[in-house]
Amino acid sequence: MQIDATTILPTFAEAFDMKYVRLIVTAQDRTWLDAAVQASTGYACSVIACDAEAGVETWLGPELTPDQRPGVSLLFFGMSTDGLGKAIVKRVGQCLMTCPTTAVFDGLPDSERRTPMGAQLRYFGDGFQKSKRLGRRRYWRIPVMDGEFLVEDSIGVAAGVAGGNVILQGPDSEVVLAAAREAVQRIAKLAGVITPFPGGVARSGSKVGSRYPKLIASTNEAYCPTLMGRATSELLPGAVAAYEVVIDGVDRARVAEATKVAIQAAVDFKIQGVTAGNYGGKLGKHHFHLQEIANELIS
C-alpha cells in the first residue's frame, strides 16, 4: 500500500496479553513530580529483562487528582499479577516513597483483582504507621522526614495489551528518527497507552530466540543496516536506518488507535516505509495489520 511517499508493508504487529496497573502520583510541584516519574519508570522498557514496562499515560491538573495537587497517571505492565505486584511494591518503595512530597493512589479503584501496595510498604513505618479508611478505600500514612507518605493499601490490576509496534525505515536516519519522535509525541496525547522505550523509541529491535541457548531474545538482524549482505534483510532498497515504536495499551482498541497515529506521523514526514515486528502469529493473539489500519487514514 502506498500513501503519498510512504509504503505501508503488508504485515502485522503481534501483541500480547499482559496485566497492568495505573498509579496516580501527586507531588507539591512539577519539579518533584518529574523526579518521581523519572525514577519510578526507569529501567522499564521490556519485560525481556525488566520487571515491568512503564510510562506516563497522562499528566493531571490539581482538579483531577485525589489530593488536589499536580499529578500524573502512570501505567505499568507485567506478565502476571504476582510479578507485577512485586515490581510495584519495589518501585513505589524505592522511587516514590523516597521522593520528596509525593503521594500514591490507585488509578483502578473499581477493579476486583487487586495486589498489595501500602499493605506491604507500611512496615517501613516500624510500627509508627497509621491506617485511614475513606469509604471502601484504605490508605497508609507512613512517617518520613518531611511529614508523612500517603499510599493506598492495594492497587487494582486489569488485563491489557502490550507489544504493539511500528517500525519506520528510510534512507535518512535523522528524518526517520524525527518521524519516530513525532509519532511518540502524538501517541502521548492519547489516553490508555504508553511507549515504554527510551524517548518512546527502540533502536535495538529484537526477535525471539538466539543462537546462544541461554538468551530468550536477540537482535533483529533483518533490520540492521550493517548486516545487509550477511543476513536476510527486511529493509527497503536504500534504507539505512530503522526505528521501532513499541505500544502498550489498556485494551486492543487503544493500541490500534496509537498505531494509526504513528502511521500518520510517518506519512506526514514522508518516511520511506512502515513495517512491524511479529513472530509469525504464534506467540501473541493480538494482530494489528498495518494496511487495514492505514485504510482508515484514506477512507
Pairing mode, strands 158-170 and 71-78: unpaired
Angle at 55 between CA 284 and CA 277, to 5 degrees: 30
At 279 the pLDDT is 86
Q: Report the half-sphere exposure of 132 (CA within 13 A, side-chain side).
A: 12
Burial of 68 (0-12, 13-18, 19+ CB in 10 A): exposed
Candidates 266, 255, 208; CA nearest to 13 is 255
CATH 3.30.70.520 occupies which residues in the chain? 2-15+161-298, 18-158
C-alpha cell at 195: 511507549
Q: How far is Cα 64 from Cα 147, in angstroms, rounded to an integer?
A: 23
pLDDT tens-digit profile of 144-174? 999 999 999 999 999 999 999 999 999 999 9
At 127 the pLDDT is 97
Q: How far is Cα 47 from Cα 125, in angstroms, rounded to an integer?
A: 31
Tell me, which fold does domain 2-15+161-298 have in CATH? Alpha-Beta Plaits (3.30.70)
pLDDT tens-digit profile of 46-82? 999 999 999 999 999 999 999 999 999 999 999 999 9
Amino acid, single-letter form, for residue 190: L
At 265 the pLDDT is 98
Residue-averaged pLDDT of the chain: 97
Q: How many CB atoms lie within 10 A of CB 266?
A: 29
Helix (H, G, I), strand (E, B) or coil at 257: helix
What class, spelled out in words, does domain 18-158 have in CATH? Answer: alpha beta
Q: Which residue has the higher pLDDT, 247 or 281?
A: 247
Q: How far is Cα 219 from Cα 108, in angstroms, rounded to an integer?
A: 36
| Phi/psi at 98 (5° precision) | -75, -20
**pLDDT band, residue 135 (cuts 50/70/90):** confident
At 282 the pLDDT is 82
**pLDDT band, residue 280 (cuts 50/70/90):** confident
- Segment among 92-96, 260-264, 277-281 with least mean pLDDT: 277-281
Yes or no: say if 286 and 252 are a contact pair by the CB < 8 Å rule: yes
Yes or no: say if 53 and 160 are a contact pair by the CB < 8 Å rule: no
8 pLDDT exceeds 90?
Answer: yes
Burial of 145 (0-12, 13-18, 19+ CB in 10 A): exposed
